[in-house]
Amino acid sequence: MAWRSCSVLCRLIGGDPFLCSVKGGRWPGGFQQHCSFKKASRTPEPKQPEGPRLQNQAPCPPRSPAAPRAFSRLVRPFLFTVGFSGCSFGAAAIWQYESLKSRVQSYFDELQADWLQKLRPQKRGDVRKEINQWWNSLTEGQKTVAGIIVANVLVFCAWPLVPLPIMLRYFTSSPASSALCVPMLLSTFSHMSLFHLAANMYVLWSFSSSAVSMLGREQFLAVYLSAAVTSSFSSYLWKTATGRYGPSVGASGAIMAVLALVCTKMPEAKLAIIFLPMFTFTAANALKAIVAMDTAGLLLGWRFFDHAAHLGGALFGIWYILFGHELIWKNREPFVKLWHDLRTRSGGGPGGPGGAV
């Protein structure tokens, strides 16, 4: 039943290849979670309560148009965006430090594994060997986004299995929802149609190699997660300003950041549409067209896409590759030094307590 409801919702909101939002700013039918999601009817008619359990329940009064537009509700999402982004870059810096620290040990482990593999008799049709060969043939960027793709697929499969109220509460983002912060991240791993999921993951896979080669896997993941919550906050801001509170799902805000930073860094790169490979255009022109389309969508009130999230992600990607890399990533040395001192004092060095890295 839940799967059928999700399918109906997808048909109502359209096949969005990026970030889809509920058309008209409302959940269809039984998807209205709270009174705050409903719009006051122009000609309200009194209704008789149905069933004995509703006899003593007061009707939900219509909310005035100015009441939901309380920008004070965005303080917590803003702090969550800043705090989560800072933690993402901090964790990425620590991850890179630990990776460099263990690189020598990993090198000797790989030599030992290769030696043991030569002694071990080879099996014909070994599935694990074929999987390893396929994995080793991938680029560093493709290996990095493989985990993101798996997470998106798992959340997509959870829609018909997990109770629908839980999925709507935590895996769709809306400034009118009772849960504000956690859905800003979880909704960027959520898709409600197979085409929506496949299109987003294809674009992410296509740009992953270029992005990771420029940033490295640690910095790339920090940028991706930060762009995810930043695009959600941009959506919150626009919905609060316009009074349209339709919930949104999809990874396109974060993917737009990846696309924007690659197109900004390599503006002369040639791109093509998958279904029209004969038409090519530069990355700079593609980025301008996408930003122009989303800007027009905001000004003209289009509701098929979450244009605010698209623009938020794209602007974050452009800002990061032009200024953020210098301001954030290249100034991580004091934080890494602090982590190194803590590891040294706690005996985390290879030489035991007080060992040097």
Average pLDDT of the residues in 235-254 = 92
CA 354 remoteness from chain centre:
40
Q: Please report the pLDDT score of residue 204 as a whole number.
A: 95
C-alpha to C-alpha distance for 21 and 24, rounded to whole angstroms: 9
Domain boundaries, the chain: 68-100+138-344
- pLDDT tens for 268-306 read 988 887 777 778 889 999 999 999 999 999 888 887 789
Average pLDDT of the residues in 334-346 = 88
Q: Mean pLDDT over all residues of the chain?
A: 79
One-letter-per-residue 3-state SS of 62-107: CCCCCCCCCHHHHHHHHHHHHHHHHHHHHHHHHHHHHHHHCHHHHH
What's the pLDDT band for 56 if we cut at 50, 70, 90? very low
What are φ and ψ of residue 18, in 5° steps? Answer: -125, -105
| Buried residues in 343-357 as b, exposed as e (16+ CB within 10 A) | bbeeebbeeeeeeee
Q: Please report the pLDDT score of residue 118 as a whole number.
A: 53
| Residue of higher predicted confidence among 157 and 34 | 157
What's the pLDDT band for 189 if we cut at 50, 70, 90? very high
Q: Please report the pLDDT score of residue 1 as a whole number.
A: 36
The partner residues of 59 in beta bridges, in order of sequence, read none
Average pLDDT of the residues in 32-58 = 43
Q: Please report the pLDDT score of residue 276 as a whole number.
A: 74
- pLDDT tens for 80-102 read 999 999 999 999 999 999 888 77
Average pLDDT of the residues in 165-184 = 93
Six-digit token pair at 272?
């093509």
| Residue of higher predicted confidence among 63 and 217 | 217
| Residue of higher predicted confidence among 214 and 20 | 214
- pLDDT tens for 115-155 read 555 555 555 557 777 888 888 888 999 999 999 999 999 99
Other beta carbons less than 10 A from residue 82's beta carbon? 14
- pLDDT tens for 297-310 read 988 888 778 999 99
CATH (one of 3.10.20.440, 1.25.10.10, 1.10.3720.10, 1.20.1540.10) for 68-100+138-344: 1.20.1540.10
The owner of tokens 């982590």 is 339
Q: Please report the pLDDT score of residue 122 as a whole number.
A: 54
Average pLDDT of the residues in 161-173 = 94
Q: Please report the pLDDT score of residue 311 as a whole number.
A: 95
| Residue of higher predicted confidence among 20 and 270 | 270
Looking at the annotation, which residues are catalytic?
Answer: 252, 310
The partner residues of 280 in beta bridges, in order of sequence, read 272
Residue 106 has pLDDT above 70, yes or no: no
Residues recorded for the chain:
357
C-alpha to C-alpha distance for 60 and 167, rounded to whole angstroms: 24
Q: Please report the pLDDT score of residue 244 as a whole number.
A: 86
